[in-house]
């Protein structure tokens, strides 16, 4: 596909977000939503329908932000977007990339921050539409052998120790922030990332459970790099970590730019 002509590219209307960022001085009230399942009609709700019908409803309810699920392209609709095949494509089920940009732009105009549910914890095994076996091998993006397969999710696991993987995922963060004007991310499934046992069957009742030979230091370094990058691109970017283990430091407020962020990794 050719890049859009300058005359047909989306023109952002609501670019001054100072008032939006002032919300970060207090805890956010976030509305988590799946675009396709956001209305009562039969079928899949589109970006356009969500923008026109659902955004005003969320605003009227008094929310500060929306967290969008299932944005990255995924072949299985029933996965709620958690089996990503194309990390650089908005899901075509809901409409065009321009429709998504308009949704985010209109949300900003209503005073709503927009957070993306970012899936960097794993990828689909599919070889026809995914990146598995992209160069003919498992190990271009993923760990070799059993370590590269999630035992419950039936998906492929990234090798965060590889520079190519780091560049691929960090570039993905920059892409969504700069091309679509997202205000930050909710990093999905980081418990699976930061432990080679993926948190399965673990209680995490003491500090010794967090720092063992089964802690993936490469994944922790990646998350640190990701957090630094998104705040370098936009000082006020929001980063939320979905972690069921309670890893020390993941939920501590951090002073950044004069504001106490409860949303940084």
Catalytic residue among 188, 218, 228, 243: 188
Residues β-bridged to residue 34: 69
Hey, how many other C-beta atoms are within 10 angstroms of the C-beta on 84?
A: 27
Catalytic residue among 214, 218, 242, 262: 242
Residue with tokens 């308009």: 102
The C-alpha atoms of residue 209 and residue 156 are separated, in whole angstroms, by 25
The C-alpha atoms of residue 68 and residue 31 are separated, in whole angstroms, by 9
- Is 188 annotated as catalytic? yes
Residues 6+ away with beta carbon under 8 Å from 207? 248
Q: Which helix (H) or strand (E) holds 219?
A: helix 217-233
Catalytic residue annotation:
188, 242
């Amino acid at each position: 596909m050719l890049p859009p002509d300058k005359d047909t590219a989306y023109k952002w209307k609501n670019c001054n977000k100072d008032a939006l960022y002032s919300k970060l001085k207090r805890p956010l009230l976030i509305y988590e939503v799946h675009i396709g399942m956001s209305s009562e009609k039969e079928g899949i709700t589109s970006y356009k329908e969500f923008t026109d019908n659902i955004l005003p409803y969320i605003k009227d309810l008094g929310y500060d932000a929306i967290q969008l699920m299932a944005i990255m392209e995924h072949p299985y609709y029933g996965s709620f977007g958690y089996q990503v095949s194309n990390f650089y494509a908005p899901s075509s089920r809901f409409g065009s990339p321009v429709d998504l940009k308009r949704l985010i732009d209109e949300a900003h105009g209503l005073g709503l921050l927009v957070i993306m549910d970012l899936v960097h914890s794993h990828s689909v095994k599919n070889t026809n539409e995914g990146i598995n076996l992209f160069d003919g091998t498992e190990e271009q993006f993923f760990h070799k052998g059993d370590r590269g397969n999630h035992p419950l999710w039936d998906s492929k696991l990234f090798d965060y120790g590889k520079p190519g993987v780091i560049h691929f995922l960090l570039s993905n963060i920059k892409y969504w922030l700069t091309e679509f004007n997202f205000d930050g991310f909710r990093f999905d499934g980081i418990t699976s990332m930061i432990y080679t046992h993926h948190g399965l069957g673990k209680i995490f009742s003491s500090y010794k459970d967090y720092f063992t030979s089964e802690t993936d230091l490469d994944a922790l370094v990646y998350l640190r790099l990701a957090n630094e990058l998104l705040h370098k691109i936009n000082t006020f970017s929001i980063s939320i970590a979905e972690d069921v283990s309670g890893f020390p430091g993941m939920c501590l407020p951090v002073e950044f730019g004069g504001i106490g962020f409860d949303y940084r990794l």
